[in-house]
Amino acid sequence: MRKAKWWLSLALALTLGAAGCGPQLDQSAPAGGSGGSSGGQTSSGGAGAGQSGGGEFNVGLAISLSGGTAKFGEAVKRAAQMAVDEFNEAGGADGKKAKLIVYDDEAKPEKSVEIVQRLIQQDKVVAFVGPANSGNAKAHIKFAQEAGVPEIIPVATGTAITDTYANEEKNYIFRVAPYDRGQVETILKWVVADKKFTKIGLLHDTTGYGQGGKADVEAVLKEQYNMSLTAVESFQVNDTNMEAQLSKMRDAAVEVVIFYGLAPEAAQYLKSRQKLDYYPLTVASWAMGDPTVKELVGDLVNRDVYMVQSFTIDQSESSRAFHEKVVAKFGEDIFPIASAQGYDCMRLILEAVKKAGTDPKAIRDAIENMEGFEGVTAIGEQPFTKENHEALNSSNMFLATYKDGAIVKP
């Protein structure tokens, strides 16, 4: 009996010891398709089970698949997967296939830091796409920069992110999303230069996102037009009534309201307009185009609402074809602009691999010097230069509006 207990204790100790050896990641790769998930990580595409004689390489996606920006992340994930599938079906690069490694950052900066380090150190990705949140980008980009692994941002729009390492010999941070300062320049060009409005109000949230938008609006208005805002009002996240702020705008004879906030509050803003029967022309950041807004307020989006975009389904034949391809593959296109930007991000990486191989530093150089790229967003054929790592800027962003519930170019 005593001998049996000794063997049982030894077996238990060995089991516990093995379980304590660092994080246990499920590295199984579902074959093709959109991939399965385990422990917050998914992987798919690539040679899978050694089926390719050319080998494979890993590309990463670190983005929110849960939390407040999950819809952005899911759209980007699907589009990135589609780009990888197309790359592999076309033969890859010199026979090498890509495998997409996906982690959910849960919209949390500390989680974002963890998974980016995991992508770089453990998964050995040659480049990666992400994130959705500016705070997450600010928290983790130093790890990509220090490791010399290129990152292309598909959603996060904080103005300063890509400039953080602009003075370094090699800047590894790129973006295919409408950064905030560029959005503000696009808005004010239309409002002031094109439409000649002079009484401009600003309604913004009190988070870093809204405060940053306020600073950009005031700066661009002063620097480029020598003007100041007629009225400035703010609101808290989760506020459900903005009638008081709108009443002040009306009393100040505001002609156009610039709205800077996220989808739930944008919906409350549109409801407050209806309650007051006051419909000032509204121009907003791209967040107003979040499908959540329409889901919450229905037809209220159709009345005098404009927002910055880099992609609409109707902007070109290629954009419409891309949208139809997404719908055919996934049964829906849950967030068209996020899908398009995610697709262009991953395609830039894969095109760079075709040109330069799988060395991350060579991939960075190939991305920066890419020519002849045909994106589905409004980005140019040469999206980046050494001095500019923003593929979308005020020269190719544009204002769109809702028509019968769909976002279209006016």
What is the pLDDT at residue 124? Answer: 98
Write out pLDDT tens, residues 111-166.
Answer: 999 999 999 999 999 999 999 999 999 999 999 999 999 999 999 999 889 999 99
Burial of 196 (0-12, 13-18, 19+ CB in 10 A): exposed
Residue 5: pLDDT band (50, 70, 90) is: very low
Q: What is the mean pLDDT of residues 253-275?
A: 96
Closest CA to 378 of 313, 325, 330: 313
What is the DSSP-derived secondary structure letter of residue 95?
T
Taking the domains of the chain in order of start, what are their residue ranges?
56-178+314-393, 181-309
What is the pLDDT at residue 405? Answer: 86
Backbone angles phi, psi at 308, to 5 degrees: -70, 140
Select from 3.60.150.10, 3.40.50.2300, 3.40.50.1970, 3.30.450.20 the CATH code of 56-178+314-393. Answer: 3.40.50.2300
Write out pLDDT tens, residues 171-208.
Answer: 999 999 999 999 999 999 999 999 999 999 999 999 88
Cα atoms found within 13 Å of the Cα of residue 222, Cβ hemisphere only = 7
Look at residue 60 and tell me whether its pLDDT is greater than 60. Answer: yes
Strands 151-153 and 173-175, by their bridges, are parallel
Q: How far is the C-alpha of 276 from the C-alpha of 384, rounded, in Å?
A: 46
What is the pLDDT at residue 96? Answer: 96
Look at residue 23 and tell me whether its pLDDT is greater than 70. Answer: no
Calculate the CA dihedral of residues 261, 154, 299, 407 and round it to 10 degrees: 130
Write out pLDDT tens, residues 320-365.
Answer: 999 999 999 999 999 999 999 999 999 999 999 999 999 999 999 9
Write out pLDDT tens, residues 385-404.
Answer: 999 999 999 899 999 999 98
Residue 78: pLDDT band (50, 70, 90) is: very high
What is the pLDDT at residue 44? Answer: 64
Helix 208-225 and helix 134-147: axis angle, to 10°?
90
Closest CA to 60 of 134, 6, 121: 121
Q: How far is the C-alpha of 406 from the C-alpha of 119, rounded, in Å?
A: 37
Look at residue 17 and tell me whether its pLDDT is greater than 50. Answer: no
Same fold, 56-178+314-393 and 181-309: yes
CATH number of 181-309: 3.40.50.2300
Token readout for 207 is 């988070």
What is the pLDDT at residue 24? Answer: 28
Closest CA to 127 of 343, 344, 353, 341: 353
Amino acid at 165: Y
pTM of the prediction?
Answer: 0.85
What is the pLDDT at residue 68? Answer: 81
